[in-house]
Structure 1
Amino acid sequence: MPGPYVVPVHGDIGLPKEVDCVVIGGGIVGASTALELAESGLRVALCEKGGIGQEQSSRNWGWVRISRRDPREIPLMAEALRIWTSISARTGRDTGYARAGLVFTCANDKECERYANWIRHLEGYQLESRMIGATQLCDVFPGSNLDSKGALYTPADGRAEPQKATSAIAEAARDRGTAILTECAVRGVETTNGAVSGVVTERGLIACTAVVLAGGAWSNLFCGTLGLDLPQLKVMSTVLRTTPVANGPEQAVWAKKFGMRKRQDGGYTIGSTTTSVVDIVPNSFRYARAFLPALKTEWRSLNFRLGGRFVEEARMPNRWKMDEASPFEYCRVLDPKPSKKSSERALLDARKAFPFLDKAEIAQSWAGYNDVTPDAVPVISAVDAVPGFHVATGFSGHGFGIGPAAGKLMADLVTGRSPIVDPTNFRWSRFSDGSKVAPLGVF
């Protein structure tokens, strides 16, 4: 079975002739944006080239965390935690959300100090996060063999089911009038006097005055059709789910070599914290200088690979006519092959730390591409060069938890209402206005 099973969302048959806003991309950010816009009274069409939530929004770990976030994301993530608490009731569907807590273990005194210093960024938010020692860590995880000097413990953090959440949000958007158009790729944006006037889909034209691109790993390619340069690369991670097991912890944990969280079915989602894969592609050279600071920070956890993906992307056209098929139609879903070695190693490391996993087996493994920016902070912004065009992308591997708030902020920007948080740190122009965009190395 390719990729994880996702609760299916059936697309609408009819194509609306005109809406107020077209959202491109049916991941959690696109679906959340559509829901917020529809609740604001706008006519919305959500266009997805494949199926709702079938790429990274269903392939992540399912963490809903504020702990160890880049400080620039904390105000928005605080809003996300608030939104998640009522999201199942709001959508009328099960998202699997639970506030269960999350633990980041510390390998040494230096990490303990760094995490302790991070906590100050939560001052004023009334969100519980604290440092605990090795003895307290054993109290949180009785029977574990975690090799740690201590940990950052954030009871305010939670988890949800990626294979359910995006579908629930998209269906809620449809309940409020949004047209959900699956297997309906947007080939390009039409402009009149330089401003957005519509989109051309593979099924025809939709007139609109606003577009939100929430295209994940495809956003760089789409932006290029408008002459816009978005510095973005992809990082691949492998994830597994286990068979159900008893007596496991409710809290999620990030350890030295693995991360895991409990699933609704009683199994655990587990992934390696040390074996992310970076495929070397033509854009790797194009954006090498922009990503150099991030590489210096994260190189120990990245495995660079030169293979078929380089040729595939080199051959991919970056321009096409509106009446011909686009690359988005030739590849409906990014479904990279998972690393069997990474899955087996992650489960072995998790078993060493948590003996209750000895009887757990790998039920399934999959891989996905995270869309990454040079500073690992998303773009949630209007693009001044094309009035009416907006971008919400580059969530850099931590977009699932923040997704509902990102959608709300994006809707605020589209409608012109007062934004829920200051959007300055997420502005499009930061990559071209001389701003410092180096990662802070805390996520």
Structure 2
Amino acid sequence: MGQVFRYASGKDPKPPILDSYANFHHVTHSPGLKRALLESGINGMAKVSAVDGERRPVILIRSSPWKAGTEQTPWHDVFDMDNGHVRYFGDHKAGISAAPGSTTGNAALLEAFNGHQAPTPEERASATPLLLFRAVSRNGKPKGHVEFCGLGVIERAERLVQWGGREHATFTNYVYDIALIDLTAEDDEVSWEWIHTRRDKTATAAQTLDLAPLAWQEWVKHGNSALPRLRRRVARAKVSKVRDQRPAVGSSEAADLETVYRRFDGRKHDFEALASAVAARVMRGSGHSYVEGWLTRRSGDGGADFVGRLDLGSGLAGTSLVVLGQAKCIKPDSLVSAEQIARVVARLRRGWIGVYVTTGAYSEPAQMEMVEDQYPIVLINGMDLVRELRSMARDDHGGDLPACMDHIISGQEIAVTSRRPEEILLE
């Protein structure tokens, strides 16, 4: 996804590279079969009569943003690749007397839509995949280059009235809401071998699925109810799997985490002191100046467990941010939810950031919400916690983890106070 291909008028599939760009006709070449084309906006590849029934191998869609708003193309397609959504207008135009659903492109997409709404996995296995492209300008020319924008499933088809054409008349057309499928497992790539196999009359639809992207296979199994979790989201690149937040079973880190949990389970303020020290080390590790403040009292803390200050720059070119910390000592196999993180974020004011430290892990929905809503909060999971503690123990206590923890909590009593968080800016 995002790769730009050279789409040359000669359509020669031999050279893999043309003018320093990958050759579209080389990448989509199927020996002995007709070329894959992007001559129209909606390019339905010819159907094949396979051993288990008729199917269309693929529909290739091309959007031409440079035409948007013209008499020829009065509509504006929407490509929101980061959030896995495309809104694409059909090929009915002003002055065409045929019914809107009977034009070549609309007919192909409406047929594909029926397949995408099929109720059984067997029917969805034959459904037509959509490969989406949009024209991009290169060397000052709007034609001749296309960007691959992903693999799609039609969620909704809607008739609507548009305005356009030389006569400035209204006409009826279709618009399609298309979900872009997550291709993370394939490094954002689609193998043309999958499409090539779908063109093979001797291959069943079920056999071709072995070459399909993993998320497409999941959609075939579960249908459109699975689209919310299968939709492409760029935010997912910033989300860590739960398994990646936990130490490997039997590892020294797992033993350290169990030691921390057993020592601080039920000892709220002691763990808050530990969390404050670890948060300070993480903040300083990014090269910024960090000042530890205090722990809040057991009652009336308003959802904050410790307070600190992050200093950025110096003098007139500097500023300071209040850091509001939350510490939760929970079982290492437990998860922190989105609601728990949101409660901390709700306390933050302008110029404040949050830090959440736990012995557990953060659920993927919680991380997605944090990334998508741009929460100003740092998440430190159980594995990160013990790694920082082990590093502190090596630096200052000869590798003795219990001694390191003893040192951290020994001075906590003088740091417990009911001061307001913003007072940290005055120190």
Q: Which TM-score band applies after superposition, normalised by the shorter structure?
A: under 0.3
Larger Rg: 2
Higher RCO (C-alpha under 8 Å, 6+ residues apart): 1
**TM-score normalised to the size of structure 2?**
0.20
Return the TM-score normalized by structure 1. Answer: 0.19
